[in-house]
Structure 1
Amino acid sequence: MKVNLRAGSRVALVLLAFCSSLAARDLNQDEALALRQQGVILPLEDLLHQAMGRYPGSRLLEAELEKKHGRYAYEVELVTTEGVVREIKLDASTGVLIKDEED
């Protein structure tokens, strides 16, 4: 039985490209600013206020804007007054809570 490795390689590359397109992509600050100016996403300050309000007195560790499955989300990492690190994910266009879990 003879196998055409070239065809198999092409299929693998297509699958890899497809799967990569489904993975989350972090956006840089210029992209975030452009999306904000276009009205596609809410101001980061509003979403940070919402996230931090869930845990009064918490400190911000990190905030990232990502795009996954065509949807923009802010992932906010914070540390609570008890020293627990939380990961909060908010829809960047609507502010709806997607996830709040201990990290």
Structure 2
Amino acid sequence: MRVHVRVGTVVALMLGAFCSLTLARDLGQDEALRLREQGKILPLEQLLQSALQRHPGAKLLEVELEEDDGIYIYEVELLTPSGVVREIKLNASNGQLLKDKVDD
């Protein structure tokens, strides 16, 4: 009995399995509230103020809280006065800036 498997199929399956292990997990508002009450993450208002200070006059578009490898991260999207969308990632536990880049 011969089994014919296309190399592309095997690579796609392996890549899919790997990617599913490295994706961040989005957290809902109930879990975010619980983490805040436990002191595991800082208040969102405090971190939003930090993000907005980086880009004066920017408007908030979206905020997500996610967990990636045991680290809680706020991903903030801002629209700058010049019309550029910025993606800012902040460590939700200590406020450290992890990323500030133009969003594609």
Give the shorter-chain TM-score range.
Answer: 0.7 to 0.9
Query: Partners of 2:2 and 2:45 in 1: how far apart?
Result: 60
- Aligned residue pairs total 93
Structure 1: which amino acid aligns with 2:29? Answer: Q
The answer for the alignment partner of 2:36 in structure 1 is 36
Query: Partners of 2:93 and 2:23 in 1: how far apart?
Result: 19
TM-score, structure 1 normalization: 0.82
* Alignment of structure 1 residues 5-84 onto 2, 5 Å: 16=17, 20-84=20-84
Cα distance per residue 1:2-51 (max 9 Å; x no partner): 78xxxxxxxx7xx93x7534310110000000000000000000000000
Q: Give the secondary structure class of the aligned counterpart of 1:20.
A: helix
Query: Partners of 1:19 and 1:86 in 2: how far apart?
Result: 25
Q: Alpha carbon RMSD of aligned pairs, Å?
A: 1.9
Query: Partners of 1:76 and 1:52 in 2: how far apart?
Result: 10
- Superposition misfits of 4+ residues, deviation over 4 angstroms: none
Query: Partners of 2:59 and 2:83 in 1: how far apart?
Result: 10
Q: What runs of 5+ residues in structure 2 fail to find an aligned partner?
A: 4-12
Q: Give the secondary structure class of the aligned counterpart of 1:50.
A: helix
Q: What runs of 5+ residues in structure 1 fail to find an aligned partner?
A: 4-11
